Amino acid sequence: MEDEERVAGFIAKGLREQAYAVDLAADGEQALYRAAVNEYDAVVLDVMLPVKDGHAVCRELRASGFRTPILMLTARGSVDDRVAGLDCGADDYLIKPFDFKELLARLRALLRRSESLRVETLKAGDLTLNTASHAAVRAGVAVSLTAKEYALLEFLVLNQDRVVGRERIAQHVWDESFDPFSNVIDVYIKRLRAKIDAGFGRRLIHTRRGEGYVLSATPGAADD
């Protein structure tokens, strides 16, 4: 299992560097628990999980109505093995060893199929985001964002006109290692305001005291 743990750590590190929030599960039972209590955009599932293997986890998830895209990883490359993975409910199948760039490409393809990321362009008033290139433009002006700033902004735009609390932001933009007592979300909100609101007239990011934040281009969506 030491090799599998190294692979999991490598994948998690690479995904976090691409601004994905990542939770790790050490075994199949833990994977089922995490999927039951958290919202995920995609699942990368290794066949060789201890306690309960990936095929069993995938079958149980699908039987429970879990519709999130699942990418199965395995060292077994025969046709029968690939068919078994797809038949248990996986959306895609990647054989180890693999190039990390291919893993990213397959995840992007799966995410494009999901309802929330079907479109390549997201808009909120005069703000436009390109979900493929992670480019942000407001009122025709390109806005330079770090990977994490973009991830937070995209989450806010996807939920525009809805208040999102710190817990939901932490769950979708950060990961299980996020410190709930940290002010890092406030720091990133401040950075985004400096980049996409300062100098553009109407503000887009608003605070709902005691509730969280809302991104809205609707007039009258001022802070409490």
Interval 128-183: pLDDT, tens: 998 878 899 999 999 999 888 998 999 999 899 999 888 888 878 876 666 767 78
pLDDT at 29: 93
Identify the band that residue 2 occupies on the pLDDT scale cut at 50, 70 and 90. Answer: very low
pLDDT the model gives residue 176 = 60
Q: pLDDT tens digits for 200-209?
A: 888 999 998 8
Give residue 111's pLDDT: 80
- pLDDT above 80: residue 116: no
Which of 31-35, 79-83, 103-107, 213-217 shows the lowest mean pLDDT across its residues?
Answer: 79-83
Split at pLDDT 50, 70, 90, the class of 1 is very low
As a 3-state breakdown, the chain gives helix, strand, coil percent values, each rounded to 5, of 45, 15, 40
CA distance linking residue 62 with residue 79, whole number of Å: 22
Query: What pLDDT, on a 0 to 100 scale, did the predictor assign at position 128?
Result: 94
Q: Which residues contact 84 (CB under 8 A, 6 or more apart)?
A: 55
Q: pLDDT for 47-90, tens place per residue?
A: 888 899 999 999 999 888 888 899 998 887 667 777 787 888 88
Q: Which of 154-158, 215-219, 220-224 has the lowest mean pLDDT?
A: 220-224
Which pLDDT score, from 0 to 100, does residue 156 have? 94
> Is 224 a residue whose pLDDT tops 80?
no
Asked if residue 204 lies in contact with residue 125, where contact means CB atoms within 8 angstroms, the answer is yes
Range list of β-strands (E), the chain: 43-46, 70-74, 92-95, 121-124, 127-130, 135-138, 141-143, 205-208, 212-215
Q: pLDDT digits over 93-105, tens only? A: 888 888 999 999 9
Domains in the chain with CATH codes = 2-116 (3.40.50.2300), 121-215 (1.10.10.10)
My answer on whether omega of the bond before 180 falls inside 30° of 0, hence cis, is: no
